[in-house]
Amino acid sequence: MMAQESSKNTRHIDVAYVAQLARMQLSDKEVPLFQDQLNHILHHVDTLMRLDVDDVEPTSHPFPGENVYRDDEPREGLAHEAAMKNAPKTRAGFYVVPKILE
């Protein structure tokens, strides 16, 4: 189930659609405003795309390195109260969020 969804055209971003996925509320004025700004950024990316990079290995990290691990040893985390402190709403130890699955 992974391949088909991810291969969508990355040169166009539908702001209204992405906002919906990201659960952001944009006003009718904001949609064209951000669409326009994003198009500018993508236009710049298009310029970069014209470079011939066939012989260049994709770089996911700016410096070389590998095998950064931690040992499987427990460490103290956050106290429950601290973890909940900034939550706008809690209930019986849970973070309360708008209803999932509408």
Q: Which of these ranges, 33-41, 43-51, 62-70, lies near another protein under the rule CB under 8 A?
A: 62-70
Residue 99 interacts with another protein (CB under 8 A): yes or no? yes
Taking CB under 8 A as the rule, does residue 53 contact another protein? no
- 90 sits in which H/E element: strand 90-91
Q: How far is CA 96 from CA 20, 64, 71, in A?
A: 20, 42, 33
Query: 25: left (phi > 0), else alpha (psi -120 to 50), else beta?
Result: beta
* Residue 27 interacting with another protein (CB under 8 A): no
CA angle 43, 45, 51 (to 5 degrees): 120
Structure tokens at 75: 């460490």
- Interacting residue with another protein among 28, 52, 58, 88 (CB under 8 A): 58
Stretch of residues binding another protein (CB under 8 A), selected from 19-27, 29-37, 42-50: 19-27
Site residues, another protein (CB under 8 A): 1-2, 5-6, 8, 10, 17-18, 21-23, 58, 60-61, 65-78, 80, 83-84, 89, 91-102
